């Protein structure tokens, strides 16, 4: 089966020395040597002042929301993975879904502004597929309405926008290091905060709120990344540029092939200065002979499991549907009904890419 992604794994022999050292030291978690080395390496790779590693992206987001003391209502996108809205709801916050821009697939700033009420305290925007949100417009809205901004940058590892690392925008950005991501630690995540005080408080919350053996402050949780995850991260980071270059080659072949196939359009956007090629989304045109689901079924019949990220919209899920309505976000509804994410990963072979293109071509 050709899945939407396949994780890059370091050579097993490279991992052995890390495991030996972990076994010898007996320190397997709670801020061990490799954990600290990974945080340092990530700071310099990503071009950020500080970063805190987490056990996964969802817990990273949950903790960032808590650290920033966000409450009430938060404006977010329905076109995302469920974790984005769930992290708000777990914090007792109401996610308010605003519509997206049909070219970037990210929150449309004008729709954000319309959704602001007296209860709004923050904007939680997602850089979907690693394409940067309109960070300047969002910063402007936030400062005029005194709102915090969190970016769910789960897809945006290593992405640069017009002014350097995308992660330097907003009060905090969160990353996912899940196995399906460009950079991974099997499971993992991280948070970059703008303010050093927020970063410090976040790190305390990551470890139950513990200050010292006798003092705890803040309702913390266990968000720590362990030493084996950190070792995988260090090994993957060393090969990341190579992996991203391979992803780019796959994307280039797709783009060339898709130019000949009329019923889909490549869905990429121009604000990216340095892309990570984490996903390869295509949109099925409205006048296409086959529906998106019929095309996915044809691909599956040839053992190609493309994915409909992000269909259905999160706003239609059980916890949210009682107060949200897909008709209020027509652009998101339309994109969710026409999107297909094609398989893309560093070691995808030419034959695998051609297979995908051939099936798509036969759907014309």
Positions touching ligand T4K (CB under 6 A) are 3-7, 56-58, 80-81, 83-84, 126, 152, 154-155, 176, 178-180, 189, 305, 309
Closer of 56 and 226 to ligand T4K (Cβ): 56
CB of 350 to ligand T4K, least distance (A): 20
Which strands sit side by side in the sheet containing 94-97, from one edge to the other? 52-54, 189-193, 172-176, 148-152, 120-126, 73-76, 94-97
Angle at CA 38, nearest 5°, toward 35 and 41?
A: 155
Distance, CA of 341 to chain centre: 14
According to DSSP, the residues that pair with 341 across neighbouring strands are 281, 307
CB of 84 to ligand T4K, least distance (A): 5
User: Helices marked H in 68-153 — which ranges?
Assistant: 82-90, 109-115, 135-145
CB of 24 to ligand T4K, least distance (A): 28
Give residue number: closest CB to ligand T4K. Answer: 57
Closer of 4 and 263 to ligand T4K (Cβ): 4
Q: How far apart are CA 91 and CA 112, in angstroms?
A: 21
Closer of 157 and 309 to ligand T4K (Cβ): 309
Distance, CA of 152 to chain centre: 6
CB of 127 to ligand T4K, least distance (A): 8
CB of 7 to ligand T4K, least distance (A): 5
CB-CB contact of 173 with 166 (8 Å): yes
CB-CB contact of 235 with 188 (8 Å): no
Closer of 84 and 236 to ligand T4K (Cβ): 84
Closer of 129 and 263 to ligand T4K (Cβ): 129
CB of 128 to ligand T4K, least distance (A): 7
Closer of 277 and 309 to ligand T4K (Cβ): 309
Name the residue with tokens 């927020």: 198
Closer of 228 and 263 to ligand T4K (Cβ): 228
CB of 178 to ligand T4K, least distance (A): 3
């Amino acid at each position: 089966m050709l899945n939407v992604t396949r994780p890059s794994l370091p050579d097993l022999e490279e991992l052995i020395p890390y495991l030996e050292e972990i076994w010898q030291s007996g320190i397997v978690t709670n801020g061990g040597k490799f954990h600290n080395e990974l945080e340092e390496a990530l700071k310099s790779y990503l071009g950020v002042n500080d970063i805190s590693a987490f056990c996964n992206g969802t817990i990273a987001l949950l903790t960032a929301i808590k650290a920033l003391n966000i409450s009430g209502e938060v404006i977010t996108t329905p076109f995302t993975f469920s974790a984005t809205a769930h992290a708000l709801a777990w914090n007792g916050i109401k996610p308010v879904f605003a519509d997206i821009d049909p070219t970037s697939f990210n929150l449309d700033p004008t729709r954000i502004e319309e959704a602001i009420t007296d209860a709004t305290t923050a904007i939680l925007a997602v850089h979907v597929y690693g394409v940067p949100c309109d960070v300047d417009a969002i910063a402007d809205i936030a400062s005029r309405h005194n709102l915090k901004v969190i970016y769910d940058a789960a897809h945006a590892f290593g992405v640069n926008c017009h002014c350097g690392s995308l992660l330097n925008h907003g009060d905090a950005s969160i990353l996912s290091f899940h196995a399906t991501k460009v950079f991974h630690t099997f499971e993992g995540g991280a948070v970059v905060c703008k303010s050093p005080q927020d970063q410090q408080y976040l790190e305390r919350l990551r470890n139950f709120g513990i200050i010292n053996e006798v003092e705890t402050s803040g309702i913390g949780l266990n968000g720590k990344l362990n030493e084996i995850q950190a070792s995988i991260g260090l090994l993957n980071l060393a090969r990341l540029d190579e992996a991203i270059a391979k992803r780019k080659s796959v994307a280039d072949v797709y783009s060339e092939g898709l130019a000949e196939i009329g019923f889909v359009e490549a869905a990429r956007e121009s604000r990216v200065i340095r892309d990570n090629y984490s996903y390869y989304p295509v949109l099925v045109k409205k006048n296409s002979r086959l529906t998106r689901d019929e095309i996915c079924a044809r691909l599956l019949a040839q053992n190609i499991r493309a994915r409909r990220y992000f269909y259905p919209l999160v706003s239609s899920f059980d916890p949210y549907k009682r107060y949200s309505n897909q008709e209020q976000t027509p652009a998101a509804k339309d994109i969710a009904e026409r999107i297909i994410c094609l398989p893309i990963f560093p070691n995808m072979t030419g034959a695998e890419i051609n297979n995908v293109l051939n099936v798509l071509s036969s759907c014309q």
